[in-house]
Structure 1
């Protein structure tokens, strides 16, 4: 049984209720917004919950067997804060969300928390979006610890890697745009230097968005995915060198083989099948 104030519990037991569902959404960058299915905005804890009838949560169900208690929330892109470009660029990935009930006729009765979790996969279709809400039990499905891997498990520049990214980071102004995922910068770095690296947009319509580099060829930079907003000549970008996580690259390019976090010499399934079968 989820806790509720005595006043709200009494209201829930009544024959007639005046309930509203509210969603509090907080992105990892500190952006906070509230939504409600009530027909008027509600002021709760100094946050205005915007009336948004486009929100429709799936059934909320919890069990005692530790099964994953995910649910989905659907909605229309009808609020200025919920832009399709932001959803596509991943700015809402991992955002914290609280879903709760209130008595809109008497907000002093408090809240009944229905679900707390984080936003998972976000899908878009026309002018609608669907977001998966992952509950606490979802963490039980996550892999813990480290797995054997032929390639390095760490990211370039991490604490385990120890490579200093300062000399491997450059900032440029976009000099040409070929497509939504391809542009050029006046770099003198050798081809492949930024491949698998990180591209962050510092200015322009995509400011704050970051994505991986698929391919670096001369001055041309191709991203893994097209940016949600148009690229424009003059946009400032930050490019960080990439690593394909092989021991050869770790040694030759970064002279960091002592910090390589992979097991390239452990035999795999191909080694098993290479043994001759004796009849």
Structure 2
């Protein structure tokens, strides 16, 4: 019972326990929800764990090795707790999850028995089933650098180091016309070249879709000065005229783009001078200089 408090150990030793489970979901937008299988509200760590959410959890599988801990959370879709619209919008994707074993008679006696995040979420007939993935899953992710001509960094991250608050590379606008939460029209957006925002981030700042974002597929500057921005996928919630959005310049991870568009070649994280596949099939031919040097001079 490593990690159990002395008070919880003493309570378990009595043989007559008052135990419940409580779990906290912390979404990426900062919203925190608490649930419990007890019949009353539990309060600790500044969170109220509600008993009437219709949410429960299956048995937790844990190991002492490096294999992934996992379980599932089940529940009913309720407008005042977890609603279908938020699930469809992806607001719970990757949300952090913590589960405690709690003495409901004294919530100070508790033990954290699971920590991880939400994985795949399935919805059917007014209910949902969410996979919970433990911290050990990250150990199975592939790491290390790849020798590739394109940059391995993400624009603005710790490796790229580019400042995305620079005015020439980010713009905030009010939505003027929108189709299917995917195609956006702006009457005027001067100062940015055609296709400037392709492969960039499109973030919604307020309205029903606040906190959601997408990737720009097409960015076209029209002859009349208007601009059309199309996303690869529709956002998970409706965007209405008047909602504010932020659009960040796109990077295709090529060396020329890094040097010419962002003036950030010192932080380029690719290998642009690696010979291409044609180099493997090259051979000497008459009429060329065959002195042992490069065949691609």
User: In 2, are the aligned partners of 1:24 and 1:97 still within 8 Å (CA)?
Assistant: yes
Kindly tell me: are residues 18 and 203 of structure 1, through their superposed partners in 2, closer, same or farther at Cα, counting changes over 3 Å? Answer: same
| TM-score between both structures, scaled by the size of structure 2 | 0.78
Q: In the TM superposition, what are the counterparts of 1:81-92 in structure 2 within 5 Å?
A: 81-92=81-92
| Correspondence for 2:232 | 224
| Correspondence for 1:209 | 212
- Measured after TM superposition, the shift of residue 270 of structure 1 is 6.8
Q: In the TM superposition, what are the counterparts of 1:17-166 in structure 2 within 5 Å?
A: 17-52=17-52, 54-78=54-78, 80-104=80-104, 106-107=105-106, 110-125=109-124, 127-165=126-164, 166=166
Q: In the TM superposition, what are the counterparts of 1:174-253 in structure 2 within 5 Å?
A: 174-186=175-187, 187-188=189-190, 189-218=192-221, 219-253=227-261
State the distance in 2 between where 1:13 and 1:26 align: 33
State the distance in 2 between where 1:157 and 1:7 align: 47
Residue-by-residue CA offset, 1:120-145 (whole Å, 9 max, x unaligned): 34444453333332222222112333
State the distance in 1 between where 2:162 and 2:7 align: 58
Aligned to 2:151, what secondary structure does the other structure show? coil
- Measured after TM superposition, the shift of residue 265 of structure 1 is 3.2
CA RMSD of aligned residues (A): 2.9
User: In 1, are the aligned partners of 2:90 and 2:236 still within 8 Å (CA)?
Assistant: no
State the distance in 1 between where 2:261 and 2:32 align: 42
Structure 2: which 5+ residue stretches go unaligned? 222-226, 284-297
Aligned to 2:207, what secondary structure does the other structure show? coil
Residue-by-residue CA offset, 1:239-273 (whole Å, 9 max, x unaligned): 1110111223223433443432112333466755x
State the distance in 2 between where 1:271 and 1:84 align: 53
| TM-score between both structures, scaled by the size of structure 1 | 0.83
State the distance in 1 between where 2:79 and 2:13 align: 34
Aligned to 1:161, what secondary structure does the other structure show? coil
Kindly tell me: are residues 148 and 193 of structure 1, through their superposed partners in 2, closer, same or farther at Cα, counting changes over 3 Å? Answer: same
Alignment length (residue pairs) = 274
Structure 1: which 5+ residue stretches go unaligned? none
State the distance in 1 between where 2:159 and 2:37 align: 47
